[in-house]
Amino acid sequence: MREVSPAQQAEPSSWTLSLRRLIQRTLPLTHLLPDRQPVFVGSWVYIFGVVSIAGLIWVVASGVVLALFGPQWWHQSGVGRFVNSLHLWSVQVFFVFMVLHLWGQYFMAGWRDGRAKTWMVGVVIFAFSIVTAFTGFISQQNFDGQWIAVNAKDATNAAGIGSFFNVLNFGQMYGLHIVLLPMLVGTLVGVHVLLVRIKGVVRPIEKKQPAQPAGEKSAS
Amino acid sequence: MDDPQDRYYAGIRMIRFDLVKEFVLALLAVSIVVIGLAGVFSSPDDPAVTIQTWATKDPVDFVTTATSELAYQSGTAQYGPPYTNTAGAGQAVGPIAPQSWAGVGNPIDTAKDFVLQPLGYAAVGNPTLTKALQTYTAASSDQQQTWLTNYTNALADATVTNDEVTVASGDYGPVPDLMTGMLGLARTGALDGLLLNSGNLYQTDFTKPLLFMGDGSYLSGLAADQHLTGDQWGMMNETGQYPGQTWLWLFSFWYQFAPFNGPATIMGQTIDWSANTDLIVIMLMIILTALLAFVPFTPILRDIPRWVPVYRVIWRRYYRGR
Amino acid sequence: MDAPATYLSWNFILISVPNVLMILGMIAVFVVALIAPFPSHSEAVEPEDSNDA
């Protein structure tokens, strides 16, 4: 950050300047796109997160094609069925590697040193991914989707949200699945990645420190 | 210049690491895997069951269900909120009863919506059905119940002769004619369409046909064949030989044993939560998810990583190098 | 692939073979990721200067 001269200190306040300085302080470009990492980031466990994101990109891309051609298309067309298969298997890849990422981060206690927010956003992503996948399953307009909806209604009704969040209403579930929920999950993933870049990767657990939860200054 | 990350990593060797290349390689690898799996295994698409299929494949179950709808004895008729105002229906855990609090937000009159209204359309130009409907609606409620109870009992021994559901003779009033009408509507596929009718041209709400099918045994029988029912870990499963939703294992887990799915005897007491299982499981899963989110602040849970030294394997080279 | 899957049962656990394969596969991938050697970089570099963006 440049030195501020006495003349500059007398400037009238600028919201734009304040915002720019905040961003420069919080996430300089060298932290957003670093070309170096601490040496301990030398384990395959560290790739699970980025592989989940790659899976998510395929989920969204195949989903966009499915939405483009409408919900009936993949039942009637061979190409459509293939795109649906891409969607199914990329969802599997996404969830598998998200869970592996969760296991890895848990055993590394990735929430230490002020990183609790990152962990919590991750759990919220997991929960909303499940809701997104669920609305997708009941939008299939086939036997599986039909059966899942008929059963899921008992859960939503028991929770008192069944007439607002009507799993038997295809239009509502489809709209949630292709618009609202992907936007939410996508935004949360973006926030999650930014938090990781802002703080940097958590340091290895050091033996001599007692268990520290989420304190900003603790060394482990 | 004061970079917090410099302070954080003080004393730790930095090495070159190409994040963008890592991302591109990950994307490439995932692309190969996803395209490969999609090409080799495809995806399942068992066609949806229609009321037409149901009535054709299992007419006795269809007629039994339609009779129960008329008698307000079906699952939907007795469901409680959001469909009906049935007293005492609705899941609760102590004073917590969100199903009842939410009220009847999606009212269904099973006799009218599933039977009488569709038959009204079919009765046009059909004198037998018109007369049967008139007789039924003019009768007292007690008389209707007598006919329906007798017919329901007789259906237990029903047979299918010439595509018609036949029962032993008895006092059923116009009910058999009504059910013949229902079977006809269903078999032609008309009932699928009529139950979607909402007065608008466009429709995306399948509540009525799905509730109606859910009240019968045909749909659930097909589901049981594919291990999709609640007490078969169904939430985790997919039709055919496809992997399902393994990540739902914990949600599905609770439904597999008593007292969640039936009575259990614990220390001499019989406990049965099956009437309120869905609410109990939802509350449990909300608590467990919140616990997962708050691991960083929870003693023991946040300490397990130190006690189970997986981290020593992950960072073994770093520890050796110091 | 559309024929019903084979299911394994033990006590109240009932699981399809495809799901078992997925779970075992996940555990295997995790273990391999833990122990497989990662390409190493021996030369240290200076930490980046934020002004170098």
Phi then psi for B220, rounded to 5 degrees? -70, -30
Residue A4 pLDDT: 56
Six-digit token string for B317: 């080279």
Cross-chain Cβ contact B241/C2 below 8 Å: yes
B97: left (phi over 0), alpha (psi -120 to 50) or beta: beta
Cross-chain Cβ contact A48/C49 below 8 Å: no
Residue B198 pLDDT: 77
Q: Which of B21, B27, B45 to mutate to test the interface with A (most CBs of A within 10 A)?
A: B45
With CA atoms as reference, the chain C residue closest to B312 would be C34
Q: Where are the domains of chain A?
A: 46-108, 112-201
Report helix, strand or coil for A188: helix
Reference B38, options A88, C26, A66; nearest CA is: A88
Class of domain A112-201: mainly alpha
Confidence of residue C46 (pLDDT cuts 50, 70, 90): low
Low-confidence ranges of chain A (pLDDT < 70): 1-11, 208-220
- Which of A31, A133, A157 is opposite residue B82, by nearest beta carbon? A157
Rounded mean pLDDT of chain C?
A: 85
With CA atoms as reference, the chain C residue closest to A104 would be C30
- Return the minimum-mean-pLDDT range out of B289-293, C32-36, C46-50: C46-50
Cross-chain Cβ contact C49/A103 below 8 Å: no
- Which of B5, B41, B236 is opposite residue C19, by nearest beta carbon? B236
Q: Which of B233, B261, B322 to mutate to test the interface with C (most CBs of C within 10 A)?
A: B233
CA distance B180 to B165: 8
> Is any Cβ of chain A less than 8 angstroms from the Cβ of C26?
yes
- Residues in Cβ contact with A124 at an 8 Å cutoff, skipping those fewer than 6 apart: A188, B293
Low-confidence ranges of chain B (pLDDT < 70): 1
CB atoms within 10 A of CB A25: 13
Cross-chain Cβ contact A42/C40 below 8 Å: yes
Residue B249 pLDDT: 93
* Residue B53 Cα distances to A144, B49, B164, B190, C4, angstroms: 16, 6, 15, 12, 20
With CA atoms as reference, the chain A residue closest to B42 would be A85
Whether ipTM tops 0.85, in short, is yes
CA distance A52 to A101: 8
Residue A7 pLDDT: 53
CA torsion angle for B298, B302, B307, B311 (degrees, to 10)? 180
Q: Are B286 and B254 in contact (CB under 8 A)?
A: no
Q: What is the DSSP letter of A178?
A: I
CA distance B313 to B82: 53
Determine the distance in angstroms separating the CA of A64 from the nearest CA of chain B, rounded to an integer: 16
pLDDT digits over B100-143, tens only?
999 999 999 999 999 999 999 999 999 999 999 999 999 999 99
- Residues in Cβ contact with A60 at an 8 Å cutoff, skipping those fewer than 6 apart: A182, A186
Partners of chain C (3+ Cβ pairs below 8 A):
A, B
With CA atoms as reference, the chain A residue closest to C42 would be A39
> Is any Cβ of chain A less than 8 angstroms from the Cβ of C23?
no
Place of tokens 């009637």: A76
> Is any Cβ of chain C less than 8 angstroms from the Cβ of A104?
yes
Cross-chain Cβ contact A160/B29 below 8 Å: no
Where b means 16+ CB within 10 Å and e means fewer, A194-209 reads bbbbbbbbbbbbeeee
